[in-house]
């Protein structure tokens, strides 16, 4: 028996998120089916990040156990011949049997993409959030600075989340603009349910002039979801990667 780690990229447009569920097709379900058919074993992958419906990934991580004697680095080639075009394994490797993608110390990096112009571009509709309201990225950067470090992010946690604590550590937030595209890049040790999308929605409110940048500090201190901005649409979010230590 060995454990294989997969780095998985996918276009989340046609999936009901990562995790297997009864309501629709998910990335994990497709991966499990493909692995089970290929190995002849009943395979159930364990994922690092349970991305929501419509969210994309360049570097989600999953592991599975198998008796198959194929070297770990060869699974990527075999699976990519069988997976649909919107899911691709970027790397496969054998890891220790006790490696768990959710419990090993790590940092995750997400990007939220915003198309900020007068009219939308059809080819961008699945991979960015469009808004015609001019966004001031300097205001957004100032607001984001209040979120760096360890805080109670209860104001930025989606309703219904079942967690022991809402305290999280955000290591870095970068906000860049290239012509009419704005990218919010956020790195942290872990994120609450919808946390990145709520932060993005709040930053857009501030960038659009609804609140001053220092309002972010007040929202954070309130520990009240109702005080933060809207949950930005899933299509603008991409899990860039996970770094393990």
The single residue of 11, 52, 98, 224 carrying the catalytic annotation is 52
Contacts of 59 (CB under 8 A, 6+ apart): 7, 8, 9, 90, 239, 240, 241, 242
52 is catalytic: yes
Nearest in space to 83 (alpha carbons), one of 48, 45, 120: 45
Nearest in space to 238 (alpha carbons), one of 91, 7, 45, 60: 60
Positions marked catalytic: 52
């Amino acid at each position: 028996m060995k454990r294989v780690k997969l780095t998985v990229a996918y276009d989340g447009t046609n999936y009901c998120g990562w995790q297997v569920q009864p309501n629709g097709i998910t990335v994990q379900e497709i991966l499990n089916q493909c692995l089970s058919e290929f190995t002849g074993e009943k395979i159930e992958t364990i994922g690092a990040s349970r991305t929501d419906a419509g969210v994309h990934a360049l570097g989600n991580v999953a592991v599975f156990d198998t008796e198959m004697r194929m070297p770990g680095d060869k699974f990527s080639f075999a699976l990519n011949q069988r997976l649909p075009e919107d899911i691709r394994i970027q790397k496969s490797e054998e890891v220790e049997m006790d490696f768990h993608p959710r419990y090993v110390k790590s940092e995750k990096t997400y990007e939220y993409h915003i198309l900020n112009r007068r009219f939308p571009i059809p080819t961008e509709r699945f991979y960015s959030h469009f808004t015609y309201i001019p966004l001031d990225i300097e205001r957004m950067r100032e607001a984001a600075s209040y979120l760096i470090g360890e805080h109670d992010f209860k104001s930025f946690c989606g309703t219904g989340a079942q967690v022991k604590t809402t305290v999280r550590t955000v290591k870095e937030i970068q906000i860049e603009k290239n012509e009419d595209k704005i990218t919010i890049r956020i790195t942290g040790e872990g994120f609450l349910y919808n946390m990145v999308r709520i932060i993005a929605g709040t930053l857009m409110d501030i960038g659009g002039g609804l609140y001053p940048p220092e309002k972010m500090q007040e929202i954070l201190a309130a520990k009240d979801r109702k005080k933060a901005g809207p949950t930005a649409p899933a299509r603008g979010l991409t899990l860039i990667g996970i770094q393990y230590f």
